[in-house]
Chain A
Amino acid sequence: MMLLAANALGQKVSASLDRSATSIGESVTLSINCTNFSPSSQPMLPSIAGLRFSSAGTSRQFQLNNGRRTSTYTYNILVMPLKAGNYSISPIQVRHKTRLLKPKPLTLLVLPAGEKPKPSNSQLQNAYVRLLPTKTTAYVGEIIPVEIQLFFIDGVNVQMPELTADGFNIAAFPKHTQSRTQKGNQIYQVLTFRTAATPVKAGELQLGPVKLSMVLRVRQKQNRRSPFNDPFDGFFNRYQQVPVNLEAKAQTITVKPLPNANKPASFNGAVGQYTMQAKASPLEMTVGDPVTVNIQISGQGAIESLNLPKLDWPGFKSYEPSVTTSENNPLGLLGTRRFEQVVIPESDTIAEMPRIEFSFFDPVTSQYRVLAKGPFPLKVNPSSKPVAPVIGGNTAQETEDPDSPPQTDILTIKHHLGSLGQAMPLIARPNFWLLQSIPLLLWIAALAWRRKTNALANNPRLRRERQVAERIRSGMAKLDALANDGKIGEFHAEMADLLRKQIGLQLDIPAEGITGDIVHSHAAQKRLNEDTRDDIRKLFTASDQASFAGSQTTGEMKANLALLKELFYALK
């Protein structure tokens, strides 16, 4: 919608809304276009309770048309509806120099929150949906194939159709098919969704409506006289994305009840058209041996829900059949259902297996039909011992000892509680994993120890360092005791030995044979400072003197010991 206010100079102002209807909370854009002039100030908007206006920026456009230049200055204003109602947006005033230009009032319909405005006719022409049941009259339980066709010119985000069908069971939608069709001059894309509706009660039932939402891509109209449009049509096309909710009206389906007349006793609700095959094997067996009956029902109808009447034959023990279904149609309307039934003759007087009967209602002929196979002649040989029912192909844990008599009741309770444990399995308990980590930690510790040991074994220097450190630690304690006891000879012998060990390590030479003269060696000169060399000399001299003189006081020995400690400290 676009409304204009113009003068003879081609100066005009127009106002438009991007759509005329919205709902609370969904903003619309109001555009005020000033052609061939620049407004002196911002447009003045009315104050309307229920609508809030906020600026969304400006834009400027120039066009050349037959040598005439046209400029358009556009104010974009966001209109946020806060209250439902029908609004007239007026007056809008635009000042140009001394004049006030007023476009005509705009109307905006605001619907309550959540309600969607009905799509415009043009949008309906762009897309529509059809609901096409294949029949309008059916019997209860009869499958009605249904097609939902969506026609649209251009669009995205097509949602799955929502089919309302009270009184029907609706099958899941398989993947849709896509095609194109022409209607008039327009090419439509067609998405076809197929499903099956099965009426579960009689009466006039409504199938539908069907609702479907999508986003249409609608080409915006442009000024056909614009010089930009003609040569580059398509390149400059602008599309607007419009979300739409499409709906097809409900169809009335007349559902007739299944007739009670001539209903077979074996009828269990199957509606459709079917054929049946059946065979039993083996036909000769011993009492208690299983006979497998294979029954195959093929045809058109609700294949997946076909059930076999219970084979409750006297003289036979029967088990639940195993069932497989193969469908030849995505909706499961055509296919085969196979039943494998195991029965066990309990007496050798049985001469035949009763006939197998399957009945269904045929909606085409409106009649019940009964399919039957058999009876099957059997030769049942007597057994020499009581036979327990054992099913071929069953689990090992269920296999019974063939020599045991048939069980007539459950075995009685146990009187010992047994070892009580937590219901949670061992493997799921954190404590188990905690315990399990202990041997792992032991191994990691052993691994670390082994690496350390190997490192020591492969490093003689490190090994010697440790041996000397150990020797000095024990030797210092011994020296202290020897000094206190006054054992001069042993004290000095021990001290000299410790000195030799430490100096040998320091100078990386053998400890044996080291004397006080070592301080004059090149290695000592290089590696030991003057004070250290003096201390070494003093200690060796004191040791030599004490050895020769054989007398020294405890105080002197303590002094030597203190000097030795200082020396070792300095050497470290």
Chain B
Amino acid sequence: MNSRHSPHQPRTWLSQKLGLLAGVLLFAGLSPASEVQFEEANRLYEIGRFPEAAALYRAAATNGVSANLLFNLGNAHFKAGQLGQAMAAYQRSLRLDPRNPETRANLRFARDQANTQPPTLSLRQRWMHILSLGEWTALASMVFTLFLLLLTVRQLKPEAFVGKPLWIRLPSMGVVATALLLAMAASDYFSDSHVFVSVAKATVRNGPLEESPESFKATDGMELLVYDRIGDFLEIETRLGQKGWIHSGDVELLTP
């Protein structure tokens, strides 16, 4: 059987293959098992078995995360009375979907319950939090790719760019601007060393040893800033300015 090839077919084939390659490269390793676990965890949540639901959401999150999955994980922890873990899950969800009003509302509600205030953010940080790090990355990548494609076309058809200097200048300014914004967003993301106390009363000690004298108690949901780590202990500071060492098992990290 003869097949008729249109002139556009090779290009379509190439774009299909490139799309497939991009998909394989970026989403390799994600398992459909998460969907099943998510559904089952939702069922457990609906019948009030919150700790089991939280465990199953966590299991699903090992195959890949989504803002909705982390939101539900936060809800399950909240309902199970684990404020710190709930707040950490909401915060992680907001990292993926920072404009989600429901996640923001639940985090605010959990903070109210824990009687803590959010960390004070600068104007720049607030502005940077409009987009997630993934969105900043995609934006910068898009602008950079567009810029490079324009440069490529200029090499192939220089006559098309004669008298049109803005065709290159504007995208180049866009590349610089988005690269700077991406660098700031990445810096904020990777330097964020907040943790949440995840047990009812965590002992904060003077030193990084079990034998170190107790300094004060931190309550569930309290947000702490981490400065250092020695063995199983994290050097932390509370919003009150109190410093000490807390066992890493007593806090929930934002990085899974």
Listed in ascending order, the chain A residues whose CB lies under 8 Å from chain B are: 169, 200, 304-305, 307, 318-325, 389, 391, 393-398, 400, 407, 409-423, 425-427, 429, 431-432, 434-436, 438-440, 442-443, 446-447, 449-450
Contacts and interface: CB of A to CB of B under 8 A. Distances in A.
Contacts of B151: 443, 446-447
Given A398-B108, A418-B67, A449-B155, 16 more contacts: A320-B240, A322-B239, A323-B240, A396-B121, A397-B118, A400-B105, A409-B109, A411-B102, A412-B75, A423-B65, A425-B186, A426-B137, A427-B182, A432-B26, A435-B21, A439-B148
Interface string B67-86: 11101100110110000000
Contacts of A409: 109
- The secondary-structure label for the interface of chain B is helix
B35 interface: yes
B226 interface: no
Contacts of A440: 148
B206 interface: yes
B161 interface: no
Interface stretch (B1-9, B138-146, B196-204): B138-146
22 contacts: A320-B239, A322-B240, A394-B118, A394-B120, A395-B118, A398-B108, A400-B108, A413-B71, A413-B76, A414-B71, A418-B66, A418-B67, A418-B68, A421-B27, A421-B134, A422-B64, A426-B133, A427-B133, A435-B22, A443-B151, A446-B151, A450-B158
7 closest residue pairs by CB, A with B:
A446-B155, A431-B25, A439-B148, A418-B68, A418-B66, A420-B64, A450-B155
Interface in B106-141: 106-112, 115-121, 126, 129, 133-134, 137-138, 141
Contacts of B42: 413, 415
A538 B233 CA distance: 97
Contact of A417 (B69, B134, B240, B241): B69
B117 A429 contact: no
A400 B35 CA distance: 32
Contacts of A447: 151, 155
B98 interface: yes
Given A398-B108, A443-B155, A436 B144 contact: yes
Interface in B230-244: 239-242
Contacts of B194: none
Interface residues of B, number: 75
A410 B65 contact: no
Given A169-B213, A395-B118, A411-B106, A449 B134 contact: no
Nearest to A447: B155
B189 interface: yes
B165 interface: no
B256 interface: yes
A443 B35 CA distance: 41
A439 B133 contact: no
A322 to B, nearest CB: 7
B106 A410 contact: yes
B28 A431 contact: yes
B63 interface: yes
B149 A439 contact: yes
Given A414-B71, A434-B25, A443-B151, A407 B105 contact: yes
Contacts of A393: 120
A290 B155 CA distance: 62
A435 B75 contact: no
B121 A395 contact: yes
Interface string B219-256: 00000000000000000000111100000000000001
B104 interface: yes
Nearest to B67: A418
A442 B126 contact: no
Contact of B66 (A412, A415, A420, A434): A420
A394 B182 contact: no
B219 to A, nearest CB: 10
B92 to A, nearest CB: 8
A550 B256 CA distance: 91
Contact of A421 (B64, B111, B256): B64
A169 B144 CA distance: 57
Nearest to A409: B109
A320 to B, nearest CB: 6
Contacts of B134: 421, 425-426
A166 B138 CA distance: 57
Interface in B5-45: 18, 21-22, 25-30, 34-35, 38, 42, 45
A413 B120 contact: no
A447 B138 CA distance: 26
Contact of A435 (B26, B45, B111): B26
Contact of A420 (B34, B75, B186, B206): B34
